[in-house]
Structure 1
Amino acid sequence: MLVVPAIDISRGKCVRFIRGRPEEAIVYYNDPVEAALRWADEGAKLLHVVDLDAAIGLGENTDVIKRIIKEASVKVQVGGGIRSFERAAQLLNLGAYRVVFGTLAFYKPEDIKKVVEVYSPEHVMVALDHIGEKVVVKGWREAVGVKLVEAAERVVEKTCAGSILATSVAQDGTLAGIDVCSVRKLIEKAKVPVYAAGGVSSLEDIKEVAKVGAAGVVVGRALYEKRFTLREALEAVKNVG
């Protein structure tokens, strides 16, 4: 299982929103590239970069993302405000390994399928933000009306995306522990690799996610606030039987 450090970008800085709220932003790095280089140096194989400003419609951070892709020696997946084929193509052409779609998967899945057809399923991920079994979209403000497992089956069928990122909204950025139960249910039914995110606070959380068969776990605040090191997390995954 991959341990994937998160780099959330707002106004050109590496930050963390608590439960997605901009008014509760914590700044970790004034230059997100420094974070990317740190995680690459500590052994990350993949980085999860999110343009928070693009996600909420307050500009974008393409120049910073471009620098991360260029200067980090690892794969970079990018999410946040990707609402068209053109934006996805721009990021992939800049060198992003994978683009992560959210709301678009439920409203214009054909646009995502077009990206898959041009770039392959490996380079396309669909994010499912959930509160328990309920899937939410549009910045976590609107429920889609189907449960997590059914939503996953639908979006994979309609978009042909190669992987899923399941983020527990209630736990995101809280260090409250990850929703392993929902992740397990999703993995049992999903036909593509599942990555988990939201609330990781300890090495035990990471081990639990590995045990249920996740392809990866995205970790943000716990790494930045030194609950454990990335090297410790990578070692913990190795020891999961």
Structure 2
Amino acid sequence: MRIYPTMELQNGRCVTLEKGRLDEAMIWHVDPVETARGWSAAGAEWMQLTDFDAIEGRDTNVKLVEEIIRSSEMSVQLAGGMRTREQVEHWIDKGAGRIVIGTLAAWDPILVKELAKLYPDQIVLAVDVWQGQVMTEGWRSQSAFTPEAYIEAFADTPFAAILVTDIDSDMEDVEAQLGLISGLAEKSRTPVIASGVVRTSDDISRLAYIPNISGAIVGRALFRKSIDLADALEVAQAAHEPVAQFQ
């Protein structure tokens, strides 16, 4: 299982949000570029980078995002405001390893299927769930799709992964979130990345044994220092190592 240390940007600063509320960001006083380099030094091969300003149609973080992609020495899975084909292709050209698409998939599924075929293993479908429905526009608009039907509609699309977030579960209720994510992973033909369920190394161990979970997003726990990235990577790697059989 792959660990994606996750950075969220707003006005050039690292932040975390409570259930996507852009006006209630918790600011972390760290340097984004140096933080990304530190994650690479700890052994991470991928990171997720989410641009909250891009979700609101602002280009405040463009230069910073470019610098992180260029200097972090690992692959970047980039999310936030990917509403057109041109934006997706621009960031692939700029060196993003993968692009996370949410709202655009609901607006224009044919285009997103085409992009996934054109850029194999570079497009990730975001499935953000609130009260049993898929949310769009930065978690602000509720669609008519259930997550099960939404994933099934893209069943034959060659996505790199499907990123699942359970928005309305109690942030401390990991069991409820694991229930939703494991259920969707069971139905999906595409590997699932779990978001919002890692607070400790124990959570990584539990995720690693759920079928079709290929990775986990780890953000707030890293900034709060409730989990060490090197430890998280070690736990994820060790989870499926073969165990000697006693005779």
* Rg larger in structure: 2
Question: Counterparts of 2:172 and 2:43 in 1: how far apart (Å)?
Answer: 22
Q: Say if 2:10 and 2:52, in contact at 8 Å, map to a contact too.
A: yes
SS of alignment partner, residue 145 of structure 1: coil
Which residue number corresponds to residue 224 of structure 2?
225
Q: Normalising by structure 2, report the TM-score.
A: 0.89
Task: Give the CA deviation at 1:20.
Answer: 0.9
Percent of aligned positions that are identical: 32
Question: Counterparts of 2:206 and 2:40 in 1: how far apart (Å)?
Answer: 24
Task: Give the CA deviation at 1:234.
Answer: 1.4
Which amino acid counterpart does residue 80 of structure 1 have in structure 2? G
Q: Say if 1:3 and 1:44, in contact at 8 Å, map to a contact too.
A: yes
Task: Give the CA deviation at 1:226.
Answer: 0.6
Question: Counterparts of 2:233 and 2:99 in 1: how far apart (Å)?
Answer: 24
Which residue number corresponds to residue 115 of structure 1?
115
Question: Counterparts of 1:231 and 1:2 in 2: how far apart (Å)?
Answer: 12
Task: Give the CA deviation at 1:60.
Answer: 4.1
Which residue number corresponds to residue 245 of structure 2?
none
Task: For 1:1-241, list aligned pairs within 5 A.
Answer: 1-120=1-120, 122-131=121-130, 133-157=132-156, 160-170=158-168, 174=171, 177=174, 179-213=177-211, 214-241=213-240
Task: Give the CA deviation at 1:115.
Answer: 2.2
Q: Say if 1:106 and 1:155, in contact at 8 Å, map to a contact too.
A: no
Deviation readout 1:140-198 (Å, 9 max, x if unpaired): 223222322221111344x54231000121359x4653611111111111111110101
Question: Counterparts of 2:29 and 2:3 in 1: how far apart (Å)?
Answer: 20
Question: Counterparts of 1:84 and 1:156 in 2: how far apart (Å)?
Answer: 22
Q: Say if 1:4 and 1:47, in contact at 8 Å, map to a contact too.
A: yes
Q: Say if 2:15 and 2:28, in contact at 8 Å, map to a contact too.
A: yes
SS of alignment partner, residue 182 of structure 2: helix
Aligned residues: 238
SS of alignment partner, residue 146 of structure 1: coil
Report the RMSD for the aligned CA atoms in angstroms: 1.9
Task: Give the CA deviation at 1:217.
Answer: 0.2
Deviation readout 1:181-216 (Å, 9 max, x if unpaired): 111111111111110101421112111211103100
Question: Counterparts of 2:35 and 2:194 in 1: how far apart (Å)?
Answer: 21
Q: Say if 2:113 and 2:154, in contact at 8 Å, map to a contact too.
A: no
Unaligned runs of 5+ in 1: none
Question: Counterparts of 1:113 and 1:212 in 2: how far apart (Å)?
Answer: 27
Residues 185 and 61 of structure 1: CA distance in aligned 2, closer, same or farther (over 3 Å): same
Question: Counterparts of 1:192 and 1:207 in 2: how far apart (Å)?
Answer: 21
SS of alignment partner, residue 191 of structure 1: coil
Which amino acid counterpart does residue 168 of structure 1 have in structure 2? D
Q: Say if 2:166 and 2:181, in contact at 8 Å, map to a contact too.
A: no
Q: Which has the higher strand share?
A: 1
Question: Counterparts of 1:45 and 1:171 in 2: how far apart (Å)?
Answer: 29
Question: Counterparts of 1:208 and 1:46 in 2: how far apart (Å)?
Answer: 21
Q: Say if 2:13 and 2:32, in contact at 8 Å, map to a contact too.
A: yes
SS of alignment partner, residue 152 of structure 1: helix
